[in-house]
Structure 1
Amino acid sequence: MSLAWLSSGAKISLHHSQHQQLLLKTKTRDGDSDKEDNITLAELCRKATPETCKLNPFLFNGHLQTAWTTTPAVEIPIFYKRKIFQADESNFEGHFAVDFVVPPYDMPTNDEAVDKERTYTLPSGLPPRTSLFSNEELESLPSDDSRPMLVVLHGLTGGSHEVYLRAALAPLVLEDRGWEACVVNARGCAQTKIGTPVLFNARSTWDLRQVVKWLRKTFPNRPLFGLGFSLGANILTNYLGEEGEDCAFKAAVVCANPWNLELSSRALHRTWLGAEVYSAHMNNSLKRLLSDHIEVVSQHPKIDVEEVQKTRYIYEFDRAVQAPLWGYPTEGAYYRDASSVDSIAAIRIPFLAINAEDDPISVQEAIPYDEFKQTPYGVLLTTSWGGHLGWFEFGGGRWFAKPIANFLDLMAKEINLSVPPTVRDTRAQSQKIPSEATVARAHYEPMRRKLAFNVGQK
């Protein structure tokens, strides 16, 4: 790498379409609609991005930045109340936990709040600063307020307790900016028991979809926003693509998305460090998670527990668990199906993606630079340095929390969300791509990831 670490500065770049611009309508401060103006998504992202990315000079590459995520960190006092959701889709039966950010409170000791019977919680108990909603609290949750609400997805085997996640939440929920937030914990994560062998995978969008529907009903006036990290970023990107124009989110941020899982897996195992440190560590985390739920998971007829215990790398775990659990013939088929890179083309809300180009897990060669040049709805922010969910500044702060909070705050407070964004094509008419009606019958459907044909078209 360059000697950027000498000045503690990482290079910041924004990648987006040059010809198609997404126009967002700004709010007026005096109610005069004639004074409303447009701002492009690229301009808003540029406004949200700090001018510099000054990181800890002692953590001068992606490996050190990534390794530092395992060290004790400054405490971030975010408190949660947990709601247990029963899956409303028969194909994905079971339950999962959603943690809602609430004001600080004295931790309760009553049986219901701490799940003394461990109906939904592992024997080791709930995560720190977390307790279950009482029935009375759940009944009082519905509200007509219009506070912006953030829905967050964590990374592999993580949960609402993760420091990187709380670092991103802190500017929005601890600085009185008026935000509400909740974290959708993947099944079996964040100390939650599972009721069926259905766990999670890299495109398990169904629980998120159920939560969003519930939020729309419970808080009908709150604009919803999405935020995903690592594996959760991949899931969120797939969800945004699946929902397309019907997406309930007003905007979203995806951070450290691995994008192309097959390519990322191959890159990870190309080096000793990638295989023996990162892949082996993630595999061990998955095996520990599986061991917490072994009695339930072992009931699945296609899971061979002995084979799972023999796995050493994450691709072997995916071969032994994810492929048979979801009906994929190989882990490669799983990776190709679950990758979110093609979902970008189907997204129809403003979104910001943040990746470090020296990330040893969500590797640079998998970052879809060209795809971002083809969509007006997304902007890719890259830094030359930062590692995987690191971006540690001197003193322990996390740089990525700044563009995340700035982007979400600008979208929620300066953009008129009642006016749908529009696309402006700056190319001359002669340079524009012909309409679908005048071109060949073949077309690409991003969410099918297949070439399709309009058979009846003439």
Structure 2
Amino acid sequence: MLQFLTGRSDIVFHHHSSSLSLTPKNETPINWADVCKNAIPSTYTRPMFFNGHLQTIRILLDNPELPIYYKRWIFQQSNKLFEGEFAVDFTIRSLQDSERQSPPEITTMFTKEEFEHIGSLDSKPMLVVLHGMNGGSGEAYLRRSLMPFINGGQEWEACVVNSRGCAGSQLGNGILYNARSTWDLRQVVEWLQKKFPNRPLFALGFSMGANMLVHYLAEEGQNCPIRAAAICSNPWNLEVLSHHLQSSFFMREIYSRGLTASLKKFLNTHEQKIITNPDIDPDEIARIQYLHEFDRAIQKPMWKYPTETVYYREASSVNPLLSVRVPIFALNSEDDPLSPQMGLPIEEAKANPYVVLVVTSFGGHLGWFQQDGSRWFIQAFFEEFPVRVIIMQKYVSTTQQIGE
């Protein structure tokens, strides 16, 4: 009750009792939990958007004009098992005069000649970003998050790996993406290592993109090229989420149906490519109303799962979190309607010294709006975190085994 009256959120850190030790180079020793705690403001007070639903719905009204611009290149997937194309948007500091419009388009295309000459031996930190479900590089939460990195005097570079067919891109064939797709991200990271061999790589994932990122980090294990990662509003346990979305009329009709309406627009846009997949039934697509029906009609047959619930279990990132071997900083809210509290990996975070999970009482899904319209998670994660991560580069993380 006191929390509700004051509007002040609890902020709880979940981490291993012996958080990842960072071995100093002639400086004071520090651990990963301390780095994260030092980056998080001590308080978060929610505004009149007093619950997770209002915080989440408020996102739809957030459309700021921000000086975040991109140049795009279409990559062809080199892995024949997952062939197709996907768009990667690279941040640029400003638009050339020839590209300026009113209002300016935030994304323009690289020419072939420009892209052939891309690459550098500089040592600027490079951020690789993954967006939420059916989103893209133009999402307000993503562009707001990039501001401290790109326009905050930090000298970062960044790119956004758009999921196939998202952010105005075309779908090259009938192979889509799913909640654990890592192949496009892996190709981009390998390409960045070749083109920018001296740049330390970091990663940032939102919502479903956070889920994908955890899978990638886990698959790479000790040899992961990403030095550290931040993830925000990860749904974590997709089976729990599916049950939650079907648990009440409100959740089913507002969230499940609303999310599915967006996905159906995606299907309509790319219908001719999608129906080339012989495992996809166009009649079943026409009957889709809810998210679990989308997964039953699309994800289950496309990826050869026997049921959509098996897909949810395989694609959840709770268990893979235990296999992550790079520092990872995760943020969730207890009142997030799209990442239920019962699905949060509290014990898994405590079992892995590379993980710090921060849970607030309020914030919704990718919300955390404050009285002035600003976003607390931007301040918490990204205004201080870039500084902390750069400081961390002075240190060498020690290898720790689970259970130490």
Q: TM-score, normalised by structure 1?
A: 0.84
Match of 1:97 among 87, 103, 117: 87
Aligned partner of 2:32: which letter? L
Give the Cα–Cα distance (whole angstroms) in 1 for the partners of residues 3 and 111 of structure 2. 52
Is 1:194 matched with 2:171?
Answer: yes
Pick closer, same or farther for the CA change 1:3–1:66 going to 2, 3 Å.
Answer: farther
**Cα 1:104/1:263, change in 2 over 3 Å:** same
Listed as ranges, the gaps of 5+ residues in structure 1 are: 27-32, 115-126, 426-431, 434-458
Give the aligned partner of residue 446 of structure 1. Answer: none
Distance 2:139 2:43 in 1: 26
Q: 1: CA distance between counterparts of 2:62 and 2:387?
A: 29
1:218-367 residue pairs with structure 2 within 5 A? 218-367=195-344
Deviation at 1:396, TM superposition (A): 1.5
Per the TM alignment, residue 135 of structure 1 is displaced from its structure 2 partner at its CA by 2.2
In structure 1, distance between residues paired with 2:118 and 2:46: 40
After superposing the two structures, state which structure 1 stretch, 390-399 or 99-108, moved more.
Answer: 99-108
For 2:345, which of 352, 365, 368 is the aligned residue? 368
Q: Which residue of structure 2 aligns with residue 10 of structure 1?
A: 9
Map Cα deviations across residues 216-261 of structure 1 (whole Å, 9 max, x no partner).
0000000000100000000000000000001000000111011110
The residue aligned with 2:41 is: 50
Does the aligned pair in 2 maintain the 1:73–1:396 contact within 8 Å? no
Instruction: Report which of the two structures shows the higher radius of gyration computed on alpha carbons.
Output: 1
Q: Output the CA distance in 2 between the equivalents of 1:102 and 1:6.
A: 44
**Cα displacement (A) at 1:24:** 1.1
In 2, Cα distance between equivalents of 1:98 and 1:273 = 36
Looking at structure 2, the residues matched to 309 and 384 of structure 1 have their Cα atoms a distance apart, in angstroms, of: 39
Which residue of 2 is the match for residue 423 of structure 1?
400
Task: Supply the distance in 1 between the matched residues of 2:138 and 2:387 (Cα, whole angstroms).
Answer: 23
Post-superposition offset of 1:109 = 6.2
* Aligned 8 A contact 2:21 2:397 in 1: no
Query: After TM superposition, which residue ranges in structure 1, 4 or more long, deviate above 3 angstroms?
Result: 5-8, 106-110, 422-425
Identity %: 47
Aligned to 1:39: 30
Q: State the secondary structure of the residue aligned to 2:400.
A: strand
Cα distance in 1 between the residues matched to 2:88 and 2:380:
25
Helix, strand or coil for the counterpart of 2:184? helix
The alpha carbon displacement at 1:140 in A equals 3.0
In the alignment, the residues of structure 2 paired with residue 188 and residue 354 of structure 1 have an alpha-carbon distance, to the nearest angstrom, of 27
**Preserved CA contact (<8 Å) 1:61 1:358:** yes
When normalised by structure 2's length, the TM-score is 0.95
Partner residue, 1:121: none
Any conservation in 2 of the 1:62–1:385 contact (CA below 8 Å)?
Answer: yes
In structure 2, the residue matched to 1:151 is 128
The C-alpha deviation readout for 1:361-401, integer Å capped at 9, x for no partner, is 11111001011111100000010000001111112211111
Answer whether contact 1:354 1:381 (CA < 8 A) is retained: yes
1:204 and 2:195 correspond: no
Amino acid at match of 1:226: A
Decide whether aligned partners of structure 1 residues 266 and 108 sit closer, same or farther in structure 2, where only a CA change above 3 A counts: farther
**Structure 1 counterpart of 2:338, which letter?**
I
- Deviation of 1:415 after TM superposition, in Å, equals 3.3
Q: Equivalent residue for 2:19? A: 21
How many Å apart are 1:3 and its aligned residue? 4.6
Pair 1:77 & 2:54 matched: no
Deviation at 1:72, TM superposition (A): 4.0
Counterpart AA for 2:354: Y
What is the CA–CA distance in structure 2 between the aligned matches of 1:250 and 1:46, rounded to whole Å?
Answer: 18
Question: 2:392 and 2:309 mapped to 1: Cα distance?
Answer: 43
Range with greater deviation from structure 2 (325-334 or 127-136) = 127-136
Aligned residue in 1 for 2:391: 413
8 Å CA contact retained: 1:287, 1:309: no
1:182 and 1:79 map into 2 onto residues whose CA distance is: 11
Distance 2:134 2:11 in 1: 29
**C-alpha separation between the residues in 2 aligned to 1:415 and 1:223?**
9
**What SS does structure 2 have at the residue aligned with 1:300?**
coil
Q: Aligned partners of 1:247 and 1:208: how far apart in 2?
A: 12
CA distance in 1, matches of 2:127, 2:14: 25
Residue type at the aligned position of 2:287: K
Q: Does residue 86 of structure 1 match 2:76?
A: yes
Offset, 1:424: 8.9
Structure 2 runs not aligned, ≥5 long: none
Secondary structure, aligned partner of 2:165: coil
**What one-letter code is carried by the residue in structure 2 that aligns with 1:69?**
I
Check the 8 A contact 2:154/2:386 in 1, yes or no: no
Change (3 A) 1:295 1:107: farther
Work out whether 1:175 is the aligned partner of 2:174.
no
